[in-house]
């Protein structure tokens, strides 16, 4: 029934079955057809155009699909201008995040319609809205070395009697997330052949921004990968280069993104770093933020100017430009102290050169 109704929510199906009119309640759970509104064909053609030009356009397609579902519920907006449509959609969920999505999606729709009618006007941009959304965003949690040590120990003791290889698998995933800074999606897509033990590198293929990259890793990371590969062979997992690195023995297939994400969240909860209910507390993706902060701190301790090394960090993380990497540089107290000490040293040399003396004694 989940497959037929297009939902993973079993509770919704049970409530519908127990209702007085179960047939109607089950029918209401069925998803609406994609791009079936009065503007659906325009949206769908625009998505196809962008993909023919080499863009993935997945996020934008999902935004347009959400707008399309809203328009299917509001046939009265069929002849209204984009500004009125976006205003009505925004009232459905009056939060800054939703208003910003409405504004962005409205501008995408305007570009699609302008190919047919150049007189179509795009919704105005409100710069205050973007700033408000950024202020409301959760601040990344920067895992300390003791936090990471606790996570690794928790992963190795993870209860899994029916899948004995799972604790070591979760341990290896956490190593890749923190020590290599990989996204969860990149971890999921790793193949056995992506590990080059001779060169001590990892091949990350066609990820975000269409970027593939080869990453050198430390000896400790390679040891963790070797240990996992040995355990994987003992379990009888396929060993050809194209086989998924993280393999489910019982299901005889690779692990999927939702499963891995849920398992790693359980590890964080069992370690006591994240409360049981809700979506609060440290996230998995915060390990990637922690990797960046740890790398910059290491450069400071080694006497290296981090600014000179940022282009290398951009490439290692697989970002399209330095601005994407700057988002990950969370200012911690230790990082601020190192930056302050470096600036004080620089300022002292500048004053000595200008005055001929040492004014900082």
Active site residues: 183, 208
DSSP 139: P
Helices (H), the chain: 2-5, 10-18, 22-29, 40-52, 58-73, 82-90, 96-114, 127-136, 145-156, 166-179, 184-188, 219-234, 257-270, 286-301, 306-317, 322-326, 333-355
134-to-96, 127, 129, 137, 248 alpha-carbon distances in Å: 10, 11, 9, 5, 39
DSSP for 249-275 reads TTTTEEPPHHHHHHHHHHHHHHTTSS-
225: number of Cβ within 10 Å: 20
Number of residues that make up the chain: 361
3-state secondary structure of 195: strand
And the tokens for 335? 């990082």
Rg (the chain; Cα; Å): 25
Alpha carbon distances (Å) from 154 to 263, 265, 270: 12, 12, 7
For 216, the 3-state DSSP assignment is: strand
């Amino acid at each position: 029934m989940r497959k037929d109704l297009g939902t993973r929510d079993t509770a919704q199906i049970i409530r519908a079955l127990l209702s007085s009119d179960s047939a109607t309640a089950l029918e209401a759970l069925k998803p609406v057809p994609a791009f079936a509104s009065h503007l659906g064909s325009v949206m769908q053609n625009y998505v196809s155009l962008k993909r023919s030009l080499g863009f993935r356009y997945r996020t934008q397609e999902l935004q347009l699909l959400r707008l399309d579902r809203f328009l299917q519920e509001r046939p009265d907006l069929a002849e209204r201008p984009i500004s009125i449509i976006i205003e009505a959609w925004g009232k459905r969920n009056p939060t800054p995040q939703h208003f910003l999505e409405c504004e962005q999606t409205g501008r995408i729709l305007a570009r699609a319609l302008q190919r047919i009618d150049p007189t179509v006007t795009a919704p105005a941009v409100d710069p205050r809205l973007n700033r408000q959304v950024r202020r409301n965003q959760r601040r990344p949690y920067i895992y300390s070395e003791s936090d990471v040590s606790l996570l690794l120990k928790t992963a190795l003791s993870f209860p899994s009697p029916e899948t004995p290889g799972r604790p070591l698998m979760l341990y290896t995933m956490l190593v890749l997330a923190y020590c290599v800074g990989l996204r969860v999606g990149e971890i999921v897509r790793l193949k056995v052949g992506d590990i080059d033990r001779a060169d001590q590198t990892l091949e990350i293929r066609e990820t975000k921004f269409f970027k593939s990259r080869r990453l050198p890793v430390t000896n400790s990371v390679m040891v963790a990968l070797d240990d996992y590969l040995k355990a994987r062979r003992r379990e009888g997992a396929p060993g050809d280069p194209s086989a998924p690195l993280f393999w489910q023995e019982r299901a005889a297939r690779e692990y999927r993104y939702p499963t891995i994400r849920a398992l790693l969240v359980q590890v964080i909860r069992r370690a006591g770093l994240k409360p049981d209910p809700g979506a609060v507390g440290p996230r998995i993706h915060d390990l990637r933020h922690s990797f960046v902060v740890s790398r910059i701190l290491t450069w400071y301790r080694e006497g290296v100017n981090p600014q000179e090394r940022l282009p290398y960090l951009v490439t290692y993380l697989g970002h399209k430009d330095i601005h994407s990497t700057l988002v990950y540089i969370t200012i911690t107290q230790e990082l601020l102290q190192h930056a302050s000490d470096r600036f004080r040293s620089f300022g002292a040399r500048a004053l000595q050169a200008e005055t001929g003396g040492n004014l900082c004694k």
